[in-house]
Chain A
Amino acid sequence: MENNIWYKTRAFFEEAGGIVIFTGRFFSEVFKPPFEFKELLRQCYQMGNKSLLLVGVTGFILGLVFTLQSRPTLMEFGAESWMPSMVSISIVREIGSVIIALICAGKIGSGIGAELGSMRVTEQIDAMEVSGTNPFKYLVVTRIVATTLMLPLLVLIGDAIALFGSAIIENLKGEVSFLLYFNQVFDALTFADLIPATIKTFFFGFAIGLVGCYKGYYCSKGTMGVGEASNSAVVYTSMLLFVIDFIAVFVADIFNG
């Protein structure tokens, strides 16, 4: 029992240390030429464009459900007119970014973990290395930069679609026009809501790329290792997203006074 706790604690710190070293290596390589722009663009397309449908559907349903669930409570207090403000602030500040980042951790993070993991076990990464190409730069740096750049865009699009979903419910149930709904949304939102929430999403994207790449790049041998890399990429990223979210909210709160 004691041994087991010791083993798990040591494994946790080894993992954390490994991720820190991996992050250091990323920063030492990212600004150093040669740059892999073509691969970066391909990754941005893979991660951004191909996640759009999932993010769109998630955002739309989020807006619908959130509005449907909140309406009865607000009606009870005669506060339906607060609906656009409440929904927009909740989605833009917190729920939209966290839920879309979690969805992306599942789709993109696990995809990266599985792809790099399978490249590791089939020696494709070694083949890149011996052909004189730096696989860290080609595979890892491009993916982490792509997720860091794409996640904020996906969150912005997801938030907009969520607000659209919410406006549909308001329009159908509360007979509120789209123009009035979005006027209220833009009245309620300030840059103080939007800017910290957007900055936070860059860190979310970075975490998704970093953990997915770390797990895949150092995948242990065998197909079981690939499964584990993919699975643990999602688990670790999800936990990390909540930690980053807490820190971001805490820092934003200090700045907002």
Chain B
Amino acid sequence: MIKCLVGLMQADSGVIRIKDEDIEVLGRAELDLLRTNIGFLFQGSALYDSMTVRENLEFPLRRHKEKLKMKEDNETLVLEALKNVGLEHTVDLMPSELSGGMQRRVALARALILKPEIILYDEPTTGLDPITSKEIIQLTRNIQDTYNTSSLIITHDVDCARVISNRMILLVDGINYIEGSFDELVRSQDPKVKAFFKN
């Protein structure tokens, strides 16, 4: 679903509208411009492994800095994005030199570099140890406040959902099964919902 939202996959049916634009009918240039308004954090971080952290963060700026009328130079934008995830010191390192949690944070910095209004998170805590997961959850929360972004998070992590979400949708077999706040869903008597929150 999350890949359909940014046009990486085509939806089988229905219409996807982001900021009043139907993404299915947009041309390449318009879609690229719309994508600059959407940050995307991939499950496996998806950092470009042949580039340094700096080059990873500069990559989205190459084509869109002028269009978005960003006045700061690349160095300032890169360092600012890295500072927001607490990793300024990694700017010249290669992704392979970073731990899993650091890679996820650099990926988040890359998703933020164009200052998007919406951020999509694909399993942000998968594959991370509990402490790093908590750090990422807290970071996500801070970013929401600092950048004033809307976030859509796909997660199986109940802790993550509890801390971050204002509204939750529980999907069962790909169908929107139930919707509400975390507290509403926790109190639900539906057996499938109860099973999800049991532990």
Q: Complex Cα distance A28/B94, Å?
A: 34
Q: Is the CB of B63 within 8 A of A130?
A: no
* CB contact under 8 A between A126 and B63, given known A131-B35, A132-B36: no
Q: Give the dominant DSSP class at B's interface.
A: loop
Chain A: how many interface residues by the 8 Å CB criterion? 15
Our pick among B6, B43, B60, B110 for the contact of A133 (Cβ within 8 Å) is B60
- Residue interface mask A47-80, B partner, CB < 8 A = 1: 0000000000000000000000000000000000
Contacts of A124 in B (CB 8 A): 46-49
Task: State the total of A-B contacts with C-beta under 8 angstroms.
Answer: 55
**A123 adjacent to chain B (CB < 8 Å):** yes
Known: A134-B28, A134-B32. A127 touches B40 (CB 8 A): yes
- Residues of A contacting B35 with CB < 8 Å? 129-132
Size category of the binding interface on chain B: 20 to 34
- Whether, in the assembled complex, A122 has its beta carbon less than 8 Å from a beta carbon of chain B, the answer is yes
User: Do B33 and A126 touch (CB < 8 A)?
Assistant: no
Known A131-B35, A132-B60, A132-B63; judge A126-B28 contact (CB<8 A): no
Please report the C-alpha to C-alpha distance between residue A202 and residue B46 in the assembled complex, in whole angstroms. Answer: 34
Closest B residue to A34 by CB, please name it. B63
CB distance from A195 to the nearest CB of B (A): 37
A127 touches B46 (CB 8 A): yes
Chain A residues whose C-beta falls within 8 Å of the C-beta of B110 in the assembled complex: 127, 131
CB < 8 Å neighbour of B64 from A122, A126, A129, A132: A132
18 A-B residue pairs with CB within 8 Å: A122-B49, A123-B42, A123-B43, A126-B3, A126-B46, A127-B40, A127-B46, A127-B47, A127-B110, A129-B7, A129-B8, A130-B35, A132-B32, A132-B33, A132-B64, A133-B32, A133-B60, A134-B32
Nearest 10 A/B pairs, CB to CB:
A131-B60, A127-B46, A132-B32, A123-B46, A130-B40, A132-B35, A123-B42, A130-B6, A132-B36, A124-B46
